[in-house]
A and B are shown apart, each in its own frame.
Chain A
């Protein structure tokens, strides 16, 4: 067993433990913390697979962004820290079936893939794996992205731009919905301050 295998065990255990915690805890704050542990451990697995770009994206988007927004939303709405969620019997049964099905599907896929570590290890003349201090992980991504690296010659620039524009439209739409509205009223005697109202926040829709 190498050091990488041991670290894989640690990160995998943390990820599974965090995922179980999300399901098992009844307090929303603890669920969120378990989610942080789970997602960070998955980022650690990406680092272990020599994909720091994907790992960093996982951290910055999911842990630093989505989970923080989730906690933010809970803080604004929840009654208190100690409040426990109640789950009905029907929900428990149906969710158990869905979880078992999902786990089976993912497990079957993972077993089918085998131990997929990208790239063959580079060995020196004594058969020891050479590990470069600064592996070139970013340039291949950029070249693939522009369609210069692979055989197909088709990059991901156009889909990326379409997604970007789509997200921009969603953001502008959310900001439009969340803006302070000025109601056009037929009765002129109402003071303008009273007619101003703030629509409910668009944060939940974005997240």
Chain B
């Protein structure tokens, strides 16, 4: 193994690593296939990066199709019907092919270098957020104990690309769109971080994986949205702010087509335009997945026996010719990842629904919503979530209303500290051993 700190090492496997006598892809490549240690790691990293990149590319295509189809239904139209058969499910691919064929335009008034460079910043920042998301107990590209903070930090980079792209287009529409975007995003980051902190207080960890593990068991009361009334309110607040963070209607002032043509990407065409779309739909998925992990039970189904059965798959290890590879464990990981992606996709469809139902706000109303309402509400929720377990401790004698089904060692703030010495291989086979 390379002596590189894992936070900088994007190569940590996404593949499962079993708790006992586990094998990672890198380990199998070096032992079973006979590759050199460095090359085994490099090949494994390339495979995992490829999987993650494809997820990053395919999900927006799916959501664009969902948006076109559902917005059509909401407006009593049919939407795409022809490309790819009955439901037009290849429409996004057709759009992409069309966009690639178009002419690559750079306006004369634009700063060519920055005009070409800035569109990659949103896409890269969302892709970085993908590497920090845990899709189940063991699948995370970069495991960090302040994962939530890191995700919020890399998502805040998105605005730089949008603002610079708008500014350097050399067009008044783009300039106005970029200015609105800067004002809106910088303001909305405050309530976003504050509302995301409320479940963190309830769970007692900034690591998205630990927050997910914390919500195992029955949906009620173990999901953090039910942990206390402040968490439930924080979920609604977070979702509102997340819609604004993705520049979606009713907060899409930066690209308001009735006023600004297309806002900050008015001058962009062809594939460059589609990069902005890719980043927008991918970031919708990222904020929805964060909401799922923070409030809606992460990768757990919320039905305790079903979760137990899925976890029990880990013990099913038929011999497939690879030493230490558990088919059942892999299957369980795939199913859990599917559950979390399904929940996040449902939240994305809610965003689509909101966009096609609500009228757009004015820019002053957008700013007033954030500064006069959402930020104070978020502050109150944060304070309330901090005081809630202390108040319960004083009156009921325990930090939660319903008791805790998994309270091995509850922290004073109502969170159970996840046992570090239990087998928690997180992304890498060596991890569990190193911690033990």
Contacts and interface: CB of A to CB of B under 8 A. Distances in A.
Contact of B156 (A29, A33, A63, A71): A63
Contact of B182 (A55, A75, A129, A138): A75
Interface string B342-353: 000000000000
B163 to A, nearest CB: 5
A80 to B, nearest CB: 8
A75 B160 contact: no
A112 B428 CA distance: 37
B124 to A, nearest CB: 10
B114 interface: yes
A88 interface: no
Contacts of A63: 156-157, 160
A24 B2 CA distance: 37
Interface stretch (B3-11, B48-56, B254-262, B321-329): B3-11
A59 interface: yes
Contacts of B109: 80-82
Contacts of A3: 2-4, 9
B207 A59 contact: no
Contacts of B175: 75
A136 B145 contact: yes
Interface in B207-248: 207, 209
Contact of B1 (A48, A67, A128): A128
Interface in B1-25: 1-9, 12
Contacts of A133: 6, 12, 143, 425-428, 430-431, 434
Contacts of A64: 153, 156-157, 159-160, 189
A18 interface: no
A92 B428 CA distance: 53
Contacts of B154: 56, 59
Contacts of B186: 65, 68-69, 72
Given A7-B8, A81-B170, A68 B145 contact: no
Given A2-B3, A130-B430, 14 more contacts: A3-B9, A4-B4, A29-B168, A56-B154, A57-B153, A60-B156, A68-B160, A69-B186, A71-B160, A71-B164, A74-B167, A81-B168, A132-B6, A132-B435
A33 B430 contact: no
B173 to A, nearest CB: 13
B185 interface: yes
A28 B111 CA distance: 11
Interface of B: 1-9, 12, 109-111, 113-114, 117-118, 121, 143-146, 149-150, 152-154, 156-157, 159-160, 163-164, 167-168, 170, 175, 178-179, 182-183, 185-186, 189, 206-207, 209, 424-428, 430-431, 434-435
Given A67-B160, A75-B178, A130 B434 contact: yes
Nearest to A51: B7
A72 B179 contact: yes
Q: Which of B4, B8, B121, B175 has the most CB of A within 10 A?
A: B8
A36 B2 CA distance: 29
A74 B179 CA distance: 10
B276 to A, nearest CB: 17
Contacts of B145: 52, 134-139
Interface of A: 2-4, 7, 27, 29-30, 32-33, 36, 40, 44, 47-50, 52-53, 55-57, 59-60, 63-65, 67-69, 71-72, 74-76, 80-82, 121-122, 128-139
A29 B111 contact: yes
Nearest to A40: B157
Given A30-B113, A64-B156, A131-B6, A53 B146 contact: yes
B6 A135 contact: yes
A81 B115 CA distance: 11
B48 to A, nearest CB: 14
Contacts of B143: 133-134
B1 A131 contact: yes
Contacts of A55: 7, 150, 153
A131 B149 CA distance: 22
A33 B434 contact: no
Contacts of B425: 133
Contacts of B178: 75
Nearest to A59: B153
B8 A30 contact: no
Contacts of B7: 47-48, 50, 52, 55, 135, 137
B266 to A, nearest CB: 14
A11 to B, nearest CB: 8
Given A3-B2, A134-B426, A71 B163 contact: yes
Nearest to B176: A75
A130 B6 CA distance: 11
A68 B163 CA distance: 8
Nearest to B206: A138
Given A131-B1, A133-B427, A4 B156 contact: no
A65 B113 contact: no
A36 B120 CA distance: 13
B5 A59 contact: no
